[in-house]
Amino acid sequence: MSVLAYIETWEGKFKKTSFETAAYASHVAKALGTDAIAVVLNATDDPAQLGQYGIKKVYRASDAGDFNNYVWTNTIVAAAKEASAKGIVISGTFGGKMIGGLAAVKFDASLITNISEKPTSTDPLVVRRSAFSSKGFVDYQVKSERFILSIIPNGIGVSAAEEASAEVVDLNVVSDHAPAIQVKDVDRVKGKIPLPEAEMVVSAGRGMKDPSNWNLIEDLAEALGASTACSKPVSDMGWRPHSEHVGQTGIAINPNLYIAIGISGAIQHLAGVSASNKIVVINTDPEAPFFKAADYGIVGDAFDVVPKLTEAIKAHKANQ
């Protein structure tokens, strides 16, 4: 028996979320009294380093070509079966969501998604997940012999690394019986952290008055090392790309720090961001509903407050 972590890569490098799945699989394996193992496709990073997150053995499949969710899923499930895994841990990234549902059927397993906590109990296995767009939690009990747990990116901190190295074994890519999907073009913004994985997010709304004022937002984000996001009206008006829209019909995020500037805090926006660890709201309207969901608030004009905050952050960083 074992618990298998799926290690996602981008251009060969392990994604940050992969250390989260490794650490989560290690925790679940320990609770079940078994070992954590991992599977990775197309890695150039050394899989042995996953030992630092409690992984004992890594199945490495090379030359898998372009992402094809069937090929990937079948290869992951092959590793799980080879290792007699009881469960698979994946991350709720866009890549993970291409795989979770397929894997649940191919691995004949219970699937629980949107997890941001360690299991509530292990016998029986009960896991708490976020639901109702962050307005509630539901505890699910696994009823099948096998399980797949999908954890929210950034939702669970990665515990301190231990000095250990994982055994690495080669695994064949399972490429037969997969639909012929031809990838034509991949357009990825270089050097930018995907929003769901960002630890800090600076987000702005209609209060910025015009897209040309976004330099204030980008300057603050850069000073912090944060990603930028926006409210739904701003993306609907085309001021910012859809991929930056956080909220109910956009992306749900849970960064360590979320700074909302000129966003009133409609219930649909809160649905996508209320799981953030700390929330700062800057708004001219003291009655903005967002202040009720915030940890820290400033009633003030963004055009005055934001540049001063950027300078104060820079000064703080310089003194570190």
Partner 1 sequence: MKVLVCISHVPDTTAKINFTSDQKAFDKNGVSFVINPYDEFGLTRAVWLQEKQGATVTVVNVGTAETEPTLRKALAIGANDAVRINAEPTDGFFVAKQIAHLVKENNYDLVIAGRESIDYNGTQVPGMLAAMLDWPFVNACVGLEVNGDQAEVVREIDGGKEKSVVPLPAIIAGQKGLVEEKDLKIPNMRGIMQARSKPLNVIEPVEADLRTESVHFEKPAPKGDCKMIEPDNVEELVNLLHNEAKVI
**Which residues within the stretch 45-84 sit at the binding site for partner 1 (CB under 8 A)?**
67, 69-70, 73
Least separation in angstroms between residue 261's CB and partner 1 is 12
- Tell me the Ramachandran region of residue 211: left when phi exceeds 0, alpha when psi lies from -120 to 50, beta otherwise: alpha
The closest of 292, 286, 221 to 258, measured between CA atoms, is 221
Query: If binding is defined by CB under 8 A, does position 157 make contact with partner 1?
Result: no
Between CA 125 and CA 155 the distance in angstroms is 19
Q: Site for partner 1 (CB under 8 A): which residue of 213, 256, 289, 303?
A: 256
Least separation in angstroms between residue 298's CB and partner 1 is 5
CB 148 within 8 A of CB 87: yes
Query: If binding is defined by CB under 8 A, does position 99 make contact with partner 1?
Result: yes
Q: Smaller CB distance to partner 1: residue 1 or 105?
A: 105
Query: If binding is defined by CB under 8 A, does position 134 make contact with partner 1?
Result: yes
The site string for partner 1 over 209-248 (x = CB under 8 A, - otherwise) reads ---------------x-------x---x-----xx-x--x
**Which residues within the stretch 297-316 sit at the binding site for partner 1 (CB under 8 A)?**
297-301, 304-305, 308-309, 312-313, 315-316
Site residue total, partner 1 (CB under 8 A): 101
Query: If binding is defined by CB under 8 A, does position 151 make contact with partner 1?
Result: no
- With tokens 């987000």, the residue in question is 203
Neighbour count for residue 260 (Cβ, 10 Å): 31
Q: Which long-range contacts (CB under 8 A, 24 or more apart) does 160-164 make?
A: 161/52, 161/53, 162/51, 162/52, 162/53, 162/54, 163/52, 164/51, 164/52, 164/54
Query: If binding is defined by CB under 8 A, does position 145 make contact with partner 1?
Result: no
Between CA 234 and CA 287 the distance in angstroms is 21
Q: Site for partner 1 (CB under 8 A): which residue of 44, 84, 215, 249?
A: 249
Q: Which stretch binds partner 1 (CB under 8 A): 52-60, 79-87, 92-100, 210-218?
A: 92-100
- With tokens 């954590």, the residue in question is 36
Strands 2-7 and 9-10: unpaired
Q: Smaller CB distance to partner 1: residue 21 or 52?
A: 21
Assign 245 to helix, strand or coil: strand
Q: Which stretch binds partner 1 (CB under 8 A): 27-35, 82-90, 110-118, 159-167?
A: 110-118
Q: Which stretch binds partner 1 (CB under 8 A): 33-41, 51-59, 156-164, 264-272?
A: 264-272
